[in-house]
């Protein structure tokens, strides 16, 4: 089953995967991953099908997690992957005591752990999975 961090990784890299995966069977499986992400279902098997188009399918561990499969897919597609780094407390660059914290937005369905910081003058970001506007979150939560 997917962890919230897996959905975060998929959401972060969906657009670049959509550009890189051009073969019909890859696009079909990516569409299945997107549909599963939207419905909250497990997307391990469609990820396995995509990877099976770039590595020998029997080389994939049948018990591999969606996190492993996503990381391997990004590696095989030559997409630089940066894992999420988390820290405790409000450690927002450029803020100090007395300064307002930035506007922070997150997944409208709370299915993903990714947070976006809204830059001044920019529109509210949109979720890459379901296309809905993100909802404001407390940067200290």
31 lies in some domain: yes
136 lies in some domain: no
* CA–CA distance, 107 with 85 (Å, rounded to integer): 18
84 lies in some domain: no
Cβ atoms within 10 Å of 59's Cβ, excluding its own: 8
- Looking at residue 29, its pLDDT comes to 93
46 lies in some domain: yes
Look up the pTM and report it.
Answer: 0.65
* CA–CA distance, 81 with 30 (Å, rounded to integer): 18
Angle at 51 (CA atoms; ends 37, 108), nearest 5 degrees: 15
Q: Tell me the pLDDT tens digit for each residue of 3-13.
A: 888 888 888 88
Query: What b-and-e string marks burial along 93-123, b requiring 16 or more CB atoms within 10 Å of the CB?
Result: eeeeeeeeebebbbbbeebbbbbbeeeeeee
Q: Tell me the pLDDT tens digit for each residue of 50-65.
A: 998 888 878 888 888 8
**On the CB side of 120, how many CA atoms lie within 13 Å of its CA?**
2
24 lies in some domain: yes
The boundaries of the domain holding residue 29 are: 4-76
- Give the β-pairing of 135-137 and 115-117: unpaired
The residue with greater pLDDT, 28 or 101, is 28
22 lies in some domain: yes
122 lies in some domain: no
User: Domain count of the chain?
Assistant: 1
93 lies in some domain: no
């Amino acid at each position: 089953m997917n962890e919230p961090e897996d959905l975060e990784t998929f959401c972060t890299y969906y657009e670049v995967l959509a550009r890189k995966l051009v073969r019909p069977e890859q696009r079909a499986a990516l569409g299945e991953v997107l549909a599963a992400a939207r419905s909250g279902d497990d997307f391990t098997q469609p990820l396995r099908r995509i990877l099976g188009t770039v590595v020998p399918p029997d080389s994939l561990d049948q018990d591999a997690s969606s996190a492993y499969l996503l990381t391997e897919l990004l590696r095989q597609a030559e997409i630089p992957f940066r894992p999420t780094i988390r820290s405790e407390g409000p450690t927002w660059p450029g803020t100090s005591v007395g300064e307002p914290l930035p506007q922070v937005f997150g997944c409208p369905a709370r299915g993903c752990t990714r947070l976006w910081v809204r830059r001044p003058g920019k529109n509210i970001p949109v979720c890459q999975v379901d296309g809905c506007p993100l909802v404001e979150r407390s940067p200290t939560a």
